[in-house]
Amino acid sequence: MKELDLLRRISVSKLPFRLLTADDFTAAKALMASGYVKVSLPVLRNGKGTYGKQEDALVSAITPAGKRALIS
């Protein structure tokens, strides 16, 4: 499962964990929906000179449920 692989990567990394790829972002959304992680999503930028400039999504915490998922 891509989601649990990402959860394992997050667990051994320093937080906040930056989501840099589309696959990581998709997996993090699933982990967030499951209540395993807390994710800060950036506000979309609009306007002149903002094309291709977007803040990273950040995982700020693994929840107790996420920690239990790592054990099982």
Query: pLDDT tens digit string along 22-69?
Result: 899 899 999 999 999 999 987 766 666 666 666 788 999 999 999 999
Q: 72: pLDDT confidence band, cut at 50, 70 and 90?
A: confident
What is residue 35's predicted lDDT score, i.e. its pLDDT?
Answer: 98
Confirm whether 58 is domain-assigned: yes
Please count the structural domains in the chain.
Answer: 1
What is residue 42's predicted lDDT score, i.e. its pLDDT?
Answer: 79
What is residue 44's predicted lDDT score, i.e. its pLDDT?
Answer: 67
What is residue 45's predicted lDDT score, i.e. its pLDDT?
Answer: 66
**24, amino acid identity:** D
Confirm whether 9 is domain-assigned: yes
Domain of 11, in residue numbers = 2-42+53-65
Query: How are beta strands 37-40 and 17-19 bridged, if at all?
Result: unpaired
